[in-house]
Amino acid sequence: MWGTVIADVASTYGHNLMRRADVAPRFERAALNDRVLATALPEFQKFLNREGQAFLERVDAWLTEHEARPNESEPDSTSVHIVWVPACITFKTDERP
């Protein structure tokens, strides 16, 4: 799964950088700050774990609500187009001089 997630992130960045003007960008956002106190990192990680988990649970519920029923995903079905939709949150820290 993680190899797929990494490929999806790279694909999104590539799509957004190389798309034609008439093609919609894919959703890709980041929040960052290069002046956070290192002592605040444990609190931030707890915050992100709590809020990120809650957000992803809402996303999962929405995706489940819009999931194809088993008979809609049959190979002979020509009227239904089914796609895989990932959403992820990542956290990374870098000490910079």
Range picked from 1-10, 32-41, 73-82 for highest mean pLDDT: 32-41
The tokens for 70 are 């088993």
Number of domains making up the chain: 2
**64 plus 18 within the same structural domain:** no
Range of the domain at 16: 1-30
Instruction: Compute the distance between CA of residue 50 and CA of residue 38 in angstroms, rounded to an integer.
Output: 19
**52 plus 85 within the same structural domain:** yes
Q: Is the pTM of this model over 0.75?
A: no
**20 plus 44 within the same structural domain:** no
Give per-residue pLDDT as tens, 49-66: 999 999 999 999 999 999
Contact predicate 50/44, CB 8 Å: no
